[in-house]
Each structure stands twice: as structure tokens, then as C-alpha cells.
Amino acid sequence: MSDTVLLAIAGPRATITLNDPAKHNRLDPAGLDKLLAAVETADAAPDVRVTVITGAGEKTFCSGYDLGSIPSGGKGGAEKKESAFEDVMNRIEAMRMPTLCALNGGVYGGATDLALACDFRLGVRGMRFFMPAARFGLHYYPAGLRRYTQKVSPSFAKRAFLLSEEFTDEGLLAVGYLDWLVERAAFSAKIDEIAGRLATLAPLSMMNMKQAIEQYAQAAPDEKAIRANIRQCATSEDLREGLAALRDKRQPAFKAR
């Protein structure tokens, strides 16, 4: 079996590839650990000036976290899994040098936040997006909600989370989720162009300005209350019903409890 996360470092550029296209590059617990290890290695490499995160294949960048690994019995299991995922996304956001998410295909679920944890997002024409949390009763973790709101807009966050709206490639460009959108034939060259430019700029200046920009952009929500709401959702009948309906391929019957 091939490695589900690949890391290649060539001079000033590190490339992390989610490498399980048969499963739409989704992240299970083991894959999440491998992604974190790749991020740590790239971030510790002194000569790396830019890290590109992309996916294998031409259909999907990543379909998010493996929902099958979330227990349906409640008791905080969903919250613990979300916390582990949140920690890795936060680690990507905190990388010292610029990061480029090269979205080679559709982006779904938690992977939509993985892209937002990067500094820049390049999309390929034909890609699609949706965030299904409300479809099965999950309350998303604070850092992800903050990135959606901070890096795109509150309106986009509400359309994605509350409406569970699906977005096309042009829609993602229009709302500001994507920085660039190119034809697939131009995708690799555009990655090289952006990564190449970042590799030539002053690293200390970029590193410090990246940190300052993130600090200026931070909001101060009531995280204690948000986490209490997360616990309520993580142990709810609605989440158990939502996950059961997902497995049974039927419409869930939510009861708001």
C-alpha cells in the first residue's frame, strides 16, 4: 500500500501531497498523523521558504475527515476527533513560512478548512465545494469557524455552514475563498509561478509579516460558550441520527435534542 501522505523537499520548496485518490484523499486518524508529521518536517527544514499542500489525482483535493471514524454513540467522541483535526489545521496555519494550498479538485468537509489554514489558495476549473456539518448535526470547531469568518467573510461562513450550500469554482473565486482559478492545463505552471516567487522573497520579512497579519486579523469570541455548544452537539441525539442516516443513505429526522 502506498503512503497516504507524501512529503518532497526540493531546495526552498516543500510539497505535501494527500495521496489516496481512490478514497478522495480523505483523512483518517492515521493519515492525520502523517499529515502532521509532514508539516512538522517541512516547517523545521531551514531552507524551506514555501510549502505547497495538494492532492493526488484530478477529481478531489480532499473529501475531509473520515466520518466513519466518528463513533455514533455520542459521549464526546465526535468532539475529541474534531479537536485532533483542529489541532493539525492550527499547526498548518502556524507554519513559519508561506503556504499554498493547490486544490487539484473538489474540496469537502474538513478539507475546506485545511485550505483556509494555508496562506494562499489556487483552484482548478471544475472543482466544487461543500461543508456538510449541518447535514448530520455536527457543530464545527472554533478555529475553523474563525478562519471561515476571518479569511473569507461572515456571509460566506453562514452560507457554507448554515445553508450547507454547494459552491462552484467561479463562486469560490467570487466570494474570495480562492485567490486564483486556472484551467487544469495551467495548474502545475501556476503552482511553480507562485511558489517560485515566494522562494525569492526575503524569508525573515515574510515570516514576521505573516505572523503580524494573522495577529491583526484575530477576533475575540466567547470560546468557552462555543465549546459548550460543541459538547452539546457532540452528545446529541441529532448527531447520532445524522451519522446513522449518513451510513444508511437516508434523510435524517432531526429533533433538536
Rounded to an integer, what distance in angstroms lies between the CA atom of residue 243 and that of residue 252? 8
Residue 246 has pLDDT above 90, yes or no: no
What are the extents of the domains in the chain?
Answer: 5-194
CATH of 5-194, one of 3.30.2320.20, 3.90.226.10, 1.10.275.10, 3.40.190.10: 3.90.226.10
Q: Is the model's pLDDT at 78 over the cut of 60? A: no
Q: What pLDDT score was predicted for residue 216? A: 87
Instruction: Return the C-alpha cell found at 247.
Output: 451510513
pTM beyond 0.85, yes or no: yes
Q: Which residues contact 128 (CB under 8 A, 6 or more apart)?
A: 106, 107, 166, 167, 168, 169
Cell of 88: 493539525
Pairing relationship of beta strands 180-182 and 60-62 according to DSSP bridges: unpaired
pLDDT class of 79 with cuts at 50, 70, 90: low
CB neighbourhood size of 157 (10 A): 20
Q: What's the pLDDT tens digit per position in 186-198? A: 999 999 999 999 9
pLDDT at 149 exceeding the cut of 90: yes
Q: What is the pLDDT of residue 231?
A: 87
Amino acid in position 162: L
